[in-house]
Amino acid sequence: MVRRVAVIGAGVGGLASIKCCLEEGLEPTCFERSEDIGGVWRYTDSMDDTRISVYCSVITNTSKEMSCFSDFPFPEDFPNYLPHSLLLEYFRMYTRHFDLLRHIRFKTAALSVRKRPDFATSGQWEVVTETNGVRESHVFDAVMVCTGHYQEPYLPLDSFPGIGTRFKGQYLHSQEYKDVEAFRGKRVLVVGIGNTGGDVSVELSHVADKVFLSARSNTWVISRVSKHGFPFDMVSTTRFNHFLDWLIPSALTRRIRFWKFNSWFNHANYGLASTKSSKFKVIVNEELPFCLLSGTVVLKPNVKEFTESSVVFEDGTTEENIDVVLFATGYIFPFPFLEESVRSLIDDNRSLYKRIFLPQLEKPTLAIIGLVQLTGSIMVGSEMQARWVTGIFAGWNKLPPPSRMMADVLKKKPPVKRNPSERENLKMSFIGYTDEIAASAGVKPSVLRLLLTDPRLALAIFFGPCTPYQYRLVGRGAWSGARDAILTQWQRTLKPLRTRVVDEDSDRSSGWCWMCLLALPVALTAGLLLSKHPKLGCRPWAGLQL
């Protein structure tokens, strides 16, 4: 029987795990090596701090309604996309509201997590921690690892001949980037066109002499702002779009998606992406197209080699007098504190059942929280994982036999191992994955049942944004405020925008009512199909946009 649970890390996943443990009557102890909560979202300008944090100017890529904890909405006056300071304040509010601080031991590093000699029968773990130089050994019934993706910088210098031998300029990983001051007036090469690479390139373009952005993959760029001014993820991440994504053949879905991407600007003209490519990534950046259009950022292909002061690209072109190379090449997650016999089983997150459990363990008392890659908010995915996991620890939820779990892992695991910079291609559908875990935990809402009992709520769930509150309507942990939170989510979205009142068309609300009435047959049909296909829409790239 699991009672005492070790939670490693007090970031998003750790806070959610502590709360979920308490809700299930478990006894969590969280070990956080730094002096505060927040994980990577707690910004520090210290270059000596080995802790990985966001850079100063970062803004969330997912909106507040799509990113909140499922029973704790953001304050309505918070902006829809948040700087790190406001997101950290929200974490503090959550921590105070649910009284989580007393379960966290700060400045305490987890040095090792090892199976006890009787693990095959007890499932227990020995956890060795260190606080101010003093080591301590603990025994726990289960362990929830909440250290996330951003553990150690991935810096593949061997793939860039000359960078460590001939090149005389400075090079660094994006982990070391804090603000623009050190790059003022310099010629900078940014390697990697993920979200970080795009953000940093745009920011540096305001002060650097020239910024070059090296990309080796096809990349589609989208904006946080939808065509009508609403947050993009609230418009695109809906169960209706998810249903269409399953219903329409994948080749046609991809063509529609590319057409949508190109409706903002033609990506081929900018050298970013081609509709003929089957491999691609999607990044969020409103300013990058203008920087490319104005020449303050110049897009280049993959790097071939470095000389003393220049860089040669694979297309044969050369850029001279490069002062700084900034590698935005991602991170790896080595889990150094786990014993080797366990760590060797985690070659990547796709070796885990549901991206959480190791099927090879005799007892399922080790859970990896927040390692999943989703097309939506990792905060929501981490909380859902924690709810399911603590339900298993408490005995309410059950796992299938190890053989079935291993078969599921092998079925979903891709044949080729990819490096961290290519993980974008393997993102899973936000709705598909979250629904899958929610169904296992018994908290997935039924659109069909709601159509019969609460049609207004059913329509909001099916055609509106798939906000986290949907997973608090039924099952263990149901929240009495979930229905109201869903029906008022657009009010909280508009509240911070309406700082100046203008006349509004009064006919819009009646038009919405007519549209909802006309949509009833569609929702009913979809509800029937969804009930017959519980694994609907689990293609890795599903749910981005239609």
pLDDT tens readout for residues 104-142: 999 999 999 999 999 999 999 999 999 999 999 999 999
By three-state DSSP, how is residue 138 classified?
strand
How far is the C-alpha of 392 from the C-alpha of 399, rounded, in Å?
A: 7
Half-sphere exposure of 67 (CA within 13 A, CB side): 24
List the alpha helices (DSSP H) in 25-183.
64-67, 84-97, 119-122
> What's residue 120's pLDDT?
96
> What's residue 519's pLDDT?
60
Numbered ranges of CATH 3.50.50.60 in the chain? 4-151+333-412, 154-330
Between CA 311 and CA 317, with CA 314 as vertex, the angle to 5 degrees is 55
Half-sphere exposure of 158 (CA within 13 A, CB side): 1
Q: Which residues of the chain have pLDDT under 50?
A: 424-425, 509, 537-546
65 touches 234 (CB < 8 A): yes
Q: Select 4-151+333-412's CATH number: 3.50.50.60, 3.30.1490.20, 3.40.190.10, 3.60.21.10.
A: 3.50.50.60
Q: Which helix (H) or strand (E) holds 412?
A: helix 402-412
138 touches 6 (CB < 8 A): yes
> What's residue 539's pLDDT?
44
> What's residue 546's pLDDT?
30
How far is the C-alpha of 458 from the C-alpha of 450, rounded, in Å?
A: 5
pLDDT per residue as tens digits for the range 13-41: 999 999 999 999 999 999 999 999 999 99
**From the centroid of its chain, how far is CA 469?**
18
> pTM value?
0.92
- Burial pattern 350-388, b for ≥16 Cβ within 10 A else e, equals bbbbbbbbbbebebbbbbbbbbbbbbbbbbbbbbbbbbb
> What's residue 48's pLDDT?
63
How far is the C-alpha of 260 from the C-alpha of 546, rounded, in Å?
A: 8
Please identify, in words, the CATH class of the domain defined by 154-330. alpha beta
SS (H, E, C) 8-55: ECCCHHHHHHHHHHHHCCCEEEEECCCCCCCHHHCCCCCCCCCCCCCC
